[in-house]
Chain A
Amino acid sequence: MKIAVCVKEVPDAGPSRKMDPATLRMDRSGDRSLNAYDLHAVEQAIRLKEAAGDGEVVLVSMGPSRALESLRKGLAMGADRALLVSDEAAAGSDLVATSRVLAKALEGESPDLVLFGQQATDGDGAVLWAAVAERLRMPVVSQISELEVSGDGLTAKRQTETGYDTIRTSLPAVLAVADSLNEPRYPSLKGIMGAKKKPQDTKGLADIGVDPSQAGEAGSRTTVLGLGEPPSRGDTIKIEDEGDAAQKILDFLMERKLV
């Protein structure tokens, strides 16, 4: 079984995470890592491959070329190789453009399963899998908390506003997994050492057959008109526990007469 996992490098949280006032895009120059929710999708892919006894797990991503560094975490966990679509002309892609680029990259891989995490930590709409499934003309199931794959089909359980659905579908399929599905493994030292040697391809838009006018801002259909201050809930006081965090929480509550 061949499993593609769509992953994303995201900026680390904190004061360095901001919007670029000139481009109205996210400033991605600070510290970065692999989106934490994606690790559950990587974990599930590796487990499915292990259970099947053979197969391949491919990480597929889109972003600046240095994003390969973040993708290595998935390789260290046990994914077999990484494919990064990186192209100046793809910067600033919205959902329409991103789903087009990712779907093209995935078409070239012909996977049996495409996995996504439940959201990205940097302001994602949790809609990308549905758009990618549509372009690939595959069935899609999201918010999966239990998954069973057998032969050429799968059964998934997921929570919605009204309870739990059990959904069955054929392969190939696009799935988005909830963070309750599994506990991602920590990469072993051997895994970390081996990750660098695993195949890591960077492809441009031309390599996957996407015209530059179909990606980036040119291929997008949404715009950011302006940025402003939100109705503030005040600044976050962020502290590290040095043994006195419990006292600080209590002080915080008492100062505000909440206890």
Chain B
Amino acid sequence: MFSPIVHRMHYPGPFHLRLGGVLPYYELVFETYGELNADCSNAVLICHALNGSHHAAGAYPDAPHKRGWWDTMIGPGKPVDTNWFFVVCANNLGGCFGTTGPMSTNPQTGKAYGPDFPAVTVEDWVHTQAHLADFLEIKCFAAVMGGSLGGMQALAWSYLYPSRVAHCVIVASAAKLSAQNIAFNEAARCAITSDANFYAGRFYDYGVVPTQGLRLARMIGHITYLSDHAMAERFGRRRSYSLEEPRRSKGFGIAALEEGQQAPLGCAENAKTPDYTQAIDTQFAIESYLQHQGEKFSRYFDANTYLLITRALDYFDPALGFKNDLSLALKPAKSDFLVISFTTDWRFAPKCSRDIVEALLVNGANVTYAEIHAPHGHDAFLLDDVQYLSVVSSWFKRIIV
């Protein structure tokens, strides 16, 4: 079995964050796959999205069903081929999977940071990832790659550390969020902060978790990751009747891959159709699916981390300091770019990717852009669409040559 190796890096600090916060020190937990070659030229950095973690690919020996969130993409013989590349993925600063974050102890108070954890930005993450590269003695990544929020980090790498990233792969991402996108994030944040168990972010002190808020936040997010078509196809107006193990879902990456488990979808196609005029508590399959996703998420994700990360998403706007001219912001970039979007993605629509491409074209950068016809919405970036994987695979073969 293909197993990742989990590591930890201690950065002595102090680390000054972009929005003014200071951390006396921090720790990053990260996974590696494959072997770093002698001249350290085969390293690929994977950047995770909102609810991802450092567990990007493979499975731990003691939990073989928990495949990494981008297991379709990374592994031996896969598009990012670990027979050739040394792949690194770290849990971002402020995260809740072992990296220093709101759940960690604040050395000044001896209690969890909670809401006192300083605001982080995409650029801060990139700087911590650069510290990680120093730690691993990687002078230049062969590629930095990410989807969604991860794509923002890959983009930021290209202009913050132009000489340290040879190729940059940006999938289903944007150079800034739209008002609608920020609106979804705000609704999710309000769901969390209005939970009675949130205690202004100090819920750890009370031994509770704002479960309801997290569930709702996750449900809102999840709706936006799927296309109308994909939802109709998978759930339609079917009604759920049990939470028994269903057949493996091919259509829902975030659900299926994030925790690595086969997600009980709570629906059965040939179930006897209940008469919902008789029983008002009868659920539609989509309801049980969302509730299951929300419930699962609330068990492993930290509420303060969710607030921090969605803020980082909202704030990202490299063109802001350049009179909104993205091409000026990207001027320092020297990498070759691969930009990918999905036709049915309405959370990070193709237009957002085209804006990045346009800015790169103005700069005369080496850029390839693929617009994948996939029906699944934003979720498609985690799935195994043939054209998508073949584009990435051909691109990475080019890096090897």
The answer to whether A and B come from one shared complex is: no
Interface residues of A (CB under 8 A from B): none
